[in-house]
Amino acid sequence: MPETNRPLVISAPAPRTLELIFSRKALDELNRRYRLIEADPENIASLGDATLAEVRYVIGQPPLDEATLARMPRLRAILNVESNLLDNMPYEVLFRRGIHVVTTGQVFAEPVAELGLAMALNLARGIVDADLAFREGRELWGGEGNRSARLLSGSEIGIIGFGDLGKALNRVLSGFRARIRVYDPWLPGSILTEAGVEPASIETVLSSSDFVFVVAAVTSENEGFLGAEAFSKMRHGAAFILLSRAGVVDFDALIAAVEAGRIVAASDVFPEEPLPLDHPVRRLPGFLRSAHRAGALDPAFKKMGKMVLEDMELMDRNLPPMRCKRAERETVARMRSRPVSVN
Amino acid sequence: MPETNRPLVISAPAPRTLELIFSRKALDELNRRYRLIEADPENIASLGDATLAEVRYVIGQPPLDEATLARMPRLRAILNVESNLLDNMPYEVLFRRGIHVVTTGQVFAEPVAELGLAMALNLARGIVDADLAFREGRELWGGEGNRSARLLSGSEIGIIGFGDLGKALNRVLSGFRARIRVYDPWLPGSILTEAGVEPASIETVLSSSDFVFVVAAVTSENEGFLGAEAFSKMRHGAAFILLSRAGVVDFDALIAAVEAGRIVAASDVFPEEPLPLDHPVRRLPGFLRSAHRAGALDPAFKKMGKMVLEDMELMDRNLPPMRCKRAERETVARMRSRPVSVN
Amino acid sequence: MPETNRPLVISAPAPRTLELIFSRKALDELNRRYRLIEADPENIASLGDATLAEVRYVIGQPPLDEATLARMPRLRAILNVESNLLDNMPYEVLFRRGIHVVTTGQVFAEPVAELGLAMALNLARGIVDADLAFREGRELWGGEGNRSARLLSGSEIGIIGFGDLGKALNRVLSGFRARIRVYDPWLPGSILTEAGVEPASIETVLSSSDFVFVVAAVTSENEGFLGAEAFSKMRHGAAFILLSRAGVVDFDALIAAVEAGRIVAASDVFPEEPLPLDHPVRRLPGFLRSAHRAGALDPAFKKMGKMVLEDMELMDRNLPPMRCKRAERETVARMRSRPVSVN
Amino acid sequence: MPETNRPLVISAPAPRTLELIFSRKALDELNRRYRLIEADPENIASLGDATLAEVRYVIGQPPLDEATLARMPRLRAILNVESNLLDNMPYEVLFRRGIHVVTTGQVFAEPVAELGLAMALNLARGIVDADLAFREGRELWGGEGNRSARLLSGSEIGIIGFGDLGKALNRVLSGFRARIRVYDPWLPGSILTEAGVEPASIETVLSSSDFVFVVAAVTSENEGFLGAEAFSKMRHGAAFILLSRAGVVDFDALIAAVEAGRIVAASDVFPEEPLPLDHPVRRLPGFLRSAHRAGALDPAFKKMGKMVLEDMELMDRNLPPMRCKRAERETVARMRSRPVSVN
């Protein structure tokens, strides 16, 4: 394509990099199809009017004020390559103008779901402690070692939150013939039913599950909503697996419930990351730890670039983006998020 | 049912017990439907002719010689509640007379498949070492900790052996959109195709898989068939997961391949059980250990009793058993097995 | 709820009726939760300012001009209970204001998919003509009657359009182990791949399928795009099944292709409805006819009401509608539709 | 392979032919691997002792008496390429000697299931009569034509008999989110549960289903077991679809139930085949007729040959046949069957 015909794209994926999210092949395609401007995310406004006037897409979520956006009349979409939406641009203006704001967080759904399933199986079978015991020559053989072991197959499973992550979890659980109940106040029951799961109240999910997976995003409304009362409703010995954000859980209450032997738990997220070296959860028996590693796999990052290319191709043809997730006018302000500091 | 009408059953489940394999409810049903004789497994012949003449079923696999069997004209089935077939009765005589010999090993398929999947996910994500590091304050966060992490989703998976275990594995893998190849020389390819997997040679399974699951029984023909040559064909960094019997593997070669960093591995079975305290596999990095705990869960044992009751009910109506697995005239002699010493 | 607190809803579902789309139970719920104004669809503007100021939802798609909309500051959504979007309101204004325009056409997906599958099976097995022959005593028995019969199982299937209808078709085809290719220019390939179908060009879909299902909506760009050239690319004897709108097909060319014996076909939609009594397709052999009956089943209509209630419940809580389909700024103008005249 | 090493096979597939059941490629393979003797089925005994002594397999089910079998010491299997087992050989002798008797009827499962589903959809949507009306210019459009139409999706379905046919039906129904109950007295309930269907009594299946599929074989015990009483238990307007053998049904009672408007029905099998020209079922409204065409498709026949080759390959290696279905000592005598007269 001649230089002048290629649409203009502002590249501002920090803290990520184009190399992280595009494979070499995808990066070639990106460059072949678009003119890229690697801009200082903190200073988009400093780009000249002639440049801004041509911009069709922004990759990343740099701060943008209304005045700068007004200088970008051809802007079609902000392609946010983090999972969070920062409060650094006037979303209402974007929605009004019909500029799409899309996120690519669903790339993490598959790796997070796999880790979540692994955590559930680990808790059910005591795999970590059994391997440690084996290393140290104190392993128990056969049924002796299975006193508290149990199966996912045929169990009752609860999922809190049924976005991309919940759906991916449901998929990796599909071979287990389990009864799966879901609590998601943002979705109508019939959508859950069609997905093959049972809509349920948060109470039922907590009190009727052998395994509870938490994959709900933190919103302004649900911070810390899973606390002492929630854990007290759970079945004795049930497993609590936290995969989304530490903010939805009262972590001290979670630790207390595990310490008391009421439940077992696993978490990929923590109230502080990195966690202080003396934090009690570090050596808490009945607790499986993962250092925010659930999603951050290279194939997931590379999928981001692929999704961005696919949606830009649709928007180039004046079609709506169908691959990434669109921010919603109603909920954008409810998403309480912090910048990603580590990829 | 009046005492005299209830069919007679010899109970000789040792080394297992009726209590292990029957729930209380199932045991009640067993007693309601049948007259049970708890016999000394080593001395079935000592039972009187009048008794033996009435026996319809034997639960267990006590030694039985042709003469004793001749005294049991109404015998319909031996319901073996182990997974192995011992060489302690004249199977040819049983087959000729149309006496079914059935095994209940398929109860272990589901728990073994779950552990196998857990092992694969553990190897893929380094879960045990990550938790240990976390306990010790040297965990790596986010992408830093995922340098060698990978996904099952979209991977290539090989399964060696497609009996009940292989089928259960295929089921728990069904949500992963993986390409699954199977090597099983005892099954026609079209059966594998209908099960949604690809029939493949052992070479292809080894060389084209990211994860290789071994669920083949030991036979007189395949002892140690997975050795240095096999491991050398595997993809660099691929995972080898051994779930059936240590006998199919050259364990020293397996250890060498893991030690050399060529592959990673997990095993539930070992050449000696218990394993000597100084065995090198105990502290081998890249190796996940489980002390023959894959199948021996209480719900699996209780399922045995249920299966036995279901098949006896069919045979009481002169129908063939459909629930347990029947020993086959052609293969019974090939199964090289040892008594179960631990449940 | 006290009268004054119940949100106000304008009911203008013509040509449908509330009774058609709401079960008695759902209608009770509608009335319990909302104050309903049954308005003359042609004269919404005549409602008083005080009334319009309170309106939260409009059920139906009455003509609405910008001035009237300006008098409705609390309007959150137009819940269109037809499948088509008429050009009778300023959609740009609605989008700018963030007022959702949603459609309920997906209720027809399931009944249409079932009829589509039935048509394919009918064409594959010649069921109509076989029954007629049987009535008249000239039936052919067994293999004699199956000279041109074939299976869906294991066949190659093409689907043109992968909206709700295409997805429902894919679902009812899931038990057939068929290879399914999809052409949909509005969707990125990776979404099709994740749905378990293969993205393909229109040429490949036409030339490599034993059964071609057309479920694409008519747009300003695809009118009559399936004509003589398309049919000439199809496999000899393949089946062409038209389920969406007659407008996407050059009907004369379709008739010619069937008449020539090149393909067989079935259609639920026709260039004129009702069709003239002397239209040649009425007695065309190799053609199966259905008088626009694919979707219009009572359970489908009743599902509309349920969907409307579910989405209003979400929007009452200031959440986005998730059940109905939202009109898109980019595509609303491309949908060329006519009013529904018959339910 | 040198002539003398190829195992000997007696070919006696009448009334079928090798050409019907083997593709050209499969026939080549058959000839390459085996020496074939095309024998007069009525006179196998006339073959010389030297020949009979070498026979490893018989393809077909020619009459065989004990004396002739005694002259065939190397016989491993009778591969019956019909669906029925005739009472023309001493099965007890075969079982005693461990000679497998296998049938290939499962090749018909897929085509029969497809026709069964087509029949259900036809009855649900009135497709045949709608097409006839359309031909004659008296069709009803849209909802008008759907007064008695209904969906399979979400319906309650009963299946009587869960052999290969029932399983294939369950598979093609898998995309319909229906509740499926199964009555099969020869199978334990847990096998049905694992297959994803609900075990149920015959009464429940009849009284709680919108669609009842009959795929049970005729046995000495179930002849005519579905009669007036059974039909009186069915839901008003429910559909009865007969796919296996007319013998399990009291056909006059079936006709009466349809005539009275209590149920609708479809059948592929009839008490006499061909059926007299004046039989009342020929013009019975509410009844869909198929002249024993459900299974007899060329791809099904060709699959037979493939199955025979696969199982002979296993048996050549002294493994049990796994592809075809084995006759069972307990049930062989219960199967009341007649010779196939038409393919």
* Per-residue pLDDT tens digits for D43-55: 999 999 999 999 9
Omega before C274 cis (within 30°)? yes
Question: Percent of chain B having pLDDT more than 90?
Answer: 91
CB D310 within 8 A of CB D323: yes
Quote the pLDDT of residue B342: 47
**What is the C-alpha separation between D81 and B276, in angstroms, rounded?**
56
Average pLDDT over residues A9-38: 97
| Cβ-defined contact of C306 to A186 (cutoff 8 Å) | no
Chain B hits for D322, Cβ within 8 Å = 186-188, 191
Is the pLDDT at A164 greater than 50? The verdict is yes
DSSP B146: G
**What are the tens digits of pLDDT across the range B172-185?**
999 999 999 999 99
Contact D134, C269 (CB under 8 A): no
- The β-bridge relationship of strands C211-214 and C156-160 is parallel
Those residues of chain C that have pLDDT short of 50 are 1, 338-342
Query: In angstroms, rounded to a whole number, what is the distance separating the alpha carbons of residues C151 and C173?
Result: 12
Contact A145, B293 (CB under 8 A): yes
Q: What is the pLDDT of residue B239?
A: 98
Residues of A in contact with C317 (CB under 8 A): 185
> In chain B, which among 135-154 make CB contacts under 8 A with chain A?
135, 137, 139-146, 149-154
Same topology between domain D3-104+298-334 and domain D109-289: yes
Work out the pLDDT band at D337, boundaries 50, 70, 90: low
The C-alpha atoms of residue B4 and residue D90 are separated, in whole angstroms, by 35
Percent of chain D's residues with pLDDT above 90: 91
Q: Buried b / exposed e across D30-49, counting CB within 10 Å, b at 16+?
A: beebbbbbebebeebbebee
Interface contacts (A, B; CB < 8 Å): 186
> In chain A, what are the domain boundaries?
3-104+298-334, 108-289
Q: Does B186 touch chain A (CB under 8 A)?
A: no
Interface test with A, best of B106, B108, B114 (most A CBs within 10 A): B114
Which chain A residues touch C319 with a CB distance below 8 Å?
186, 330-331
Rounded to a whole number of angstroms, the distance from the CA of A304 to the nearest CA of chain C is: 12
Closest CA to C179 of C200, C154, C151, C159: C154
Kind and range of the H or E element at B109?
A: helix B109-125
pLDDT (0 to 100) of residue D4: 63
Q: Is D180 on the interface with C (CB under 8 A)?
A: no
Instruction: Pull the structure tokens for residue A74.
Output: 């051809």
% of chain A at pLDDT higher than 90: 91
Name C211's bridge partners: C157, C239
Contact A19, A11 (CB under 8 A): no
Q: Choosing among B107, B117, B155, which should be mutated to test the A contact, i.e. which has the most A CBs within 10 A? A: B117
Q: Which helix (H) or strand (E) covers residue D79, if one does?
A: strand D77-80
Which chain B residues are within 8 Å of A171, Cβ to Cβ?
A: 175
Q: Which of C243, C132, C274, C131 is nearest to D139 (CA)?
A: C274
| Edge-first strand listing for the sheet containing B179-183 | B198-199, B179-183, B156-160, B211-214, B239-242, B264-267, B287-289
Residue A46 tokens, joined: 């400093």
Identify whether the C-beta of residue B213 lies closer than 8 Å to the C-beta of residue B169.
Answer: yes
Q: Mind giving me the DSSP string for A209-270?
A: -SEEEE-PPPBTTTTT-BSHHHHHHSPTT-EEEE-S-GGGB-HHHHHHHHHTTS-EEEES--
Whole-number pLDDT of residue B340: 45
pLDDT value at position A341? 46
Report CB contact under 8 Å: D150, C297.
yes
Count of CA atoms in the C-beta half-sphere (13 A) of D19: 0
Q: Which of C96, C185, C188 sits opposite A96 (nearest CB)?
A: C96
Q: How far apart are CA C240 and CA C231, in angstroms?
A: 9
Q: What is the mean pLDDT of residues A193-216?
A: 98
Judging contacts by C-beta atoms under 8 Å, the chain D residues touching residue B323 are 188, 190-191
Least Cα separation, residue B74 to chain D (angstroms): 14
Round to whole Å and give the CA distance between D16 and C142: 13
Chain C residue numbers touching A188 (CB-CB < 8 A): 307, 310-311, 313-314, 322-323
Q: Write down the pLDDT at residue A3.
A: 55
Chain A hits for B139, Cβ within 8 Å: 274, 289, 291
Return the sign of the alpha-carbon dihedral for residues C130, C131, C132, C135: positive
- Is D99's pLDDT higher than 60? yes
In A104-202, at which residue ranges do the beta strands (DSSP E only) sit?
A: 156-160, 179-183, 198-199
Q: Which chains touch A (3 or more CB pairs under 8 A)?
A: B, C
pLDDT of A2 higher than 60: no
Q: How far is A164 from chain B (nearest CA, A)?
A: 15
- Assess contact for A121 and A155: CB atoms under 8 A: no
* CATH of span C108-289: 3.40.50.720
Strand order of the β-sheet with D8-12 is D35-38, D8-12, D55-60, D77-80, D100-103, D325-326
The pLDDT of A1-30, averaged and rounded, is 91
Among C189, C322, C329, the residue with its CB nearest the CB of A187 is C322
**D24–chain C nearest CA distance, Å:** 19
Alpha helices, DSSP H, located in chain D:
18-21, 24-33, 49-54, 66-70, 91-97, 109-125, 127-135, 164-172, 189-194, 202-207, 228-233, 251-259, 298-316
pLDDT of residue C340: 45
Task: Determine which of D131, D147, D165, D180 to mutate to test the interface with C (most C C-beta atoms within 10 Å).
Answer: D131
Q: What percent of chain A has pLDDT over 70?
A: 96
pLDDT grade for D338, boundaries at 50, 70 and 90: very low
Helix, strand, coil share (%) of chain B residues, nearest 5? 40, 15, 40
Geometric angle at alpha carbon D137, from D133 and D138, rounded to 5° = 55
Q: How many CB atoms lie within 10 A of CB A71?
A: 17
B118, B139, B174 ranked by CB distance to A291: nearest: B139
D314/B contact by beta carbon, under 8 A: yes
pLDDT given at position C220: 79
pLDDT at D219: 83
Task: Flag if C144 and D289 touch (Cβ within 8 Å).
Answer: no
Q: What percent of chain B shows pLDDT beyond 70?
A: 96
Touching check for A290 and chain B: CB below 8 Å?
yes
ipTM: 0.96
3-state secondary structure chain C: CCHHHCCEEEEECCCCCHHHHCCHHHHHHHHHHCEEEECCHHHHHHCCHHHHHHEEEEEECCCCCHHHHHCCCCCCEEEECCCCCCCCCCHHHHHHHCCEEEECHHHHHHHHHHHHHHHHHHHHHCHHHHHHHHHCCCCCCHHHHHCCCCCCCCCEEEEECCCHHHHHHHHHCHHHCCEEEEECCCCCHHHHHHCCCEECCHHHHHHCCCEEEECCCCECCCCCCECHHHHHHCCCCCEEEECCCHHHECHHHHHHHHHCCCCEEEECCCCCCCCCCCCHHHHCCCEEECCCCCCCCHHHHHHHHHHHHHHHHHHHCCCCCCCCEECCCCCHHHECCCCCCCC
> Would you call D174 an interface residue with chain C, using a CB distance cutoff of 8 Å?
yes
Amino acid, res. B153 = S
In chain D, what residues touch B313 (CB-CB under 8 Å)?
188
Instruction: Tell me the shortest Cα–Cα distance from B290 to chain A, in angstroms.
Output: 6
pLDDT of residue D5: 83
Q: Residue B270 burial by CB count (10 A; 0-12/13-18/19+): exposed, middle or buried? A: buried
Residue D336: pLDDT over 60:
no
Residues 96-115 of A with CB under 8 A from C: 96, 98
**Distance in angstroms (rounded) separating the CA atoms of residues C268 and A64:** 51
Lowest mean pLDDT among A21-35, A128-142, B217-231, B271-285: B217-231
The answer to whether A132 faces chain C, any CB pair under 8 Å, is: no
Q: What's the start-to-end Cα distance of chain A, in Å?
A: 34
Q: Find where tokens 């119940």 sit.
A: C6
Write down the pLDDT at residue A100.
98
Structure tokens belonging to residue B161: 């052996």
Buried b / exposed e along A146-159 (16+ C-beta atoms within 10 A): beebbbbbebbbbb
Instruction: State the Cα–Cα distance between residues B337 and B331, nearest whole angstrom.
Output: 12
How far apart are alpha carbons D106 and D308 in whole angstroms? Answer: 12
B142: left (phi over 0), alpha (psi -120 to 50) or beta: left
Among D96, D311, D322, the residue with its CB nearest the CB of B96 is D96
Is A291 close to B140, i.e. CB distance below 8 A? Answer: yes
Task: Indicate the fold that domain D3-104+298-334 takes in CATH.
Answer: Rossmann fold (3.40.50)
Residues A271-324: pLDDT tens digits?
999 999 999 999 999 999 999 999 999 999 999 999 999 999 999 999 999 999
Which element (helix H / strand E) includes B26? helix B24-33
Summarised one tens digit per residue, pLDDT across range B63-119 is: 999 999 999 999 999 999 987 899 999 999 999 999 999 999 999 999 999 999 999
CATH code of the domain made up of B109-289: 3.40.50.720
* B142–A291 C-beta distance less than 8 A: yes
Band of pLDDT at residue A124, cut at 50, 70 and 90 = very high
Residue type, C247: G
Answer yes or no: are the C-beta atoms of C231 and C240 closer than 8 Å: yes
What's the pLDDT at B44?
Answer: 96
